[in-house]
Amino acid sequence: MFGTKKKTPQIDKEQLELIKNAQKRIKQKKSLYTHFILFLIGSVALIIANLGLHIGETYKPLGKDWFIFIVGFWLLILIYHAFNVFVINRFMGPTWQQHQLDKLVAKQKEGIEKLKTKLPDNEPAIVPAIEKKKLSKKQNLTLIVAASENNAIGKDNQLIWHLRDDLQRFKSLTSGHCIIMGRKTFESFPKPLPNRTHIVVTNQQNYKVPHGVIVVHNMEDALDAALEDKHPYVIGGGEIYKQALPFADKIELTRVHEAFEADTHFPELNLNEWREIQNIYHPKDEQNDYAFSFLTYERI
Ligand SMILES: NC(=O)c1ccc[n+]([C@@H]2O[C@H](COP(=O)([O-])OP(=O)(O)OC[C@H]3O[C@@H](n4cnc5c(N)ncnc54)[C@H](OP(=O)(O)O)[C@@H]3O)[C@@H](O)[C@H]2O)c1
């Protein structure tokens, strides 16, 4: 299905990351500027209320006009906000966080290696709990998702964009397979998708579903329910992606080359754990509102 699509060179990831960070910084500075304007207007209003309109004129805590305390407290909050924007977010942004994470992972790996050397030869090597679970399941679990540059995936329990080719790819990949989803994603469909076994995760014990849809109450049971399928898919939404990510072997990510405001996001991928094995760029056209790339990741 991709044979007819025009392939263009892969978008520079570092550039995208820089754009993403710049957009985030602009947003932070805008919110600080708005806060500053509100502070100015609010302070003037309080001063007029107290000194001009004589509201609470007789109330003088510690012998001072009351507006001084409110304006002073607000100023402290504004300074804290500015400190966050110019110091904490600037020097402890995503690069710093990634660096800390890499350090932690390296330390953990070192610890595991040390433990391995202490084990007697006939003991099995230590396998992290999640990996053990994954191996015992013998499933090739894939997360399939469309996420924007800022990892937005949905708003008001709906998708944010219309990408016909992405929907077609979703259909062709998932048809004939088990699809695991959260209750909210299930409810975002007008009716169950044809030719797929729906496994819906919910806490509701008496959740009613159409015939053929499987209801489970945790992620483990969802994976168990899909055991017969050699290639089940997790199709969202945000909550379920987050919980399923440690069990996934593969991610089919449609990266939509735009940033969106959203209420649901795909978790940030740790690229030390994932290897990109395919990247197909698709430009915007009449059927697809935005340019996007089909990215396939495999667990390293
Ligand atoms: N862009 C994409 O590729 C994509 C794909 C799918 C969905 N989406 C979007 O994502 C949004 C929905 O995502 P969401 O995060 O709000 O909801 P969700 O993950 O679809 O569903 C959340 C619900 O699942 C149930 N649940 C989650 N974890 C559970 C657990 N461990 N045990 C039992 N039940 C559990 C709970 O249901 P109960 O309240 O019933 O207990 C919870 O409210 C929508 O906007 C949708 O359009 C986007």
246-256 pLDDT, tens per residue? 999 999 999 99
Q: Which of 292, 250, 270 is closest to 10 using CA atoms?
A: 292
Across 94-122, average pLDDT: 72
Q: How far is the CA of 264 from the centre of ligand 1 (A)?
A: 9
Across 207-222, average pLDDT: 95
Pocket of ligand 1 (CB under 6 A): 145-146, 153-155, 157-159, 181-185, 188, 201-204, 217-219, 235-240, 243, 264
pTM of the model: 0.63
C-beta of residue 199 within 8 angstroms of C-beta of residue 225: yes
Which residue's alpha carbon is at the smallest distance from atom 40 of ligand 1?
202
Structure tokens at 134: 């994954």
Q: How far is the CA of 65 from the centre of ligand 1 (A)?
A: 52
Please state, in angstroms and rounded to a whole number, the distance separating the CA atoms of residues 219 and 201: 7
Q: Which ligand 1 atom is nearest residue 202's CA? A: 34
Structure tokens at 300: 């390293």
**Torsion-angle region of 179 (φ positive above 0: left; ψ -120 to 50: alpha; else: beta):** beta
Which residue's alpha carbon is at the smallest distance from atom 32 of ligand 1?
218
Across 70-81, average pLDDT: 96
**Torsion-angle region of 254 (φ positive above 0: left; ψ -120 to 50: alpha; else: beta):** beta
Q: How far is the CA of 70 from the centre of ligand 1 (A)?
A: 42
131-144 b/e (C-beta count within 10 Å ≥ 16 → b): eeebeebebebbbb
Q: How far is the CA of 239 from the centre of ligand 1 (A)?
A: 5
User: Ligand 1: which of 183, 209, 251 to mutate, most ligand atoms within 8 Å of CB?
Assistant: 183
Please state, in angstroms and rounded to a whole number, the distance separating the CA atoms of residues 224 and 169: 26
Structure tokens at 136: 């015992």
Please state, in angstroms and rounded to a whole number, the distance separating the CA atoms of residues 224 and 178: 11
Structure tokens at 169: 């790819």
C-beta of residue 257 within 8 angstroms of C-beta of residue 283: no
Across 193-218, average pLDDT: 96
18-51 pLDDT, tens per residue? 666 777 888 889 999 999 999 999 999 999 999 9
Res 25: pLDDT? 82
Q: How far is the CA of 146 from the centre of ligand 1 (A)?
A: 15
119-164 pLDDT, tens per residue? 665 544 444 444 444 444 457 999 999 999 999 999 999 999 999 9
Across 258-279, average pLDDT: 96
Neighbours of 156 (CB within 10 A): 9
Q: Which ligand 1 atom is nearest residue 219's CA? A: 31
Structure tokens at 287: 């059927």
Chain centre distance of CA 234:
15
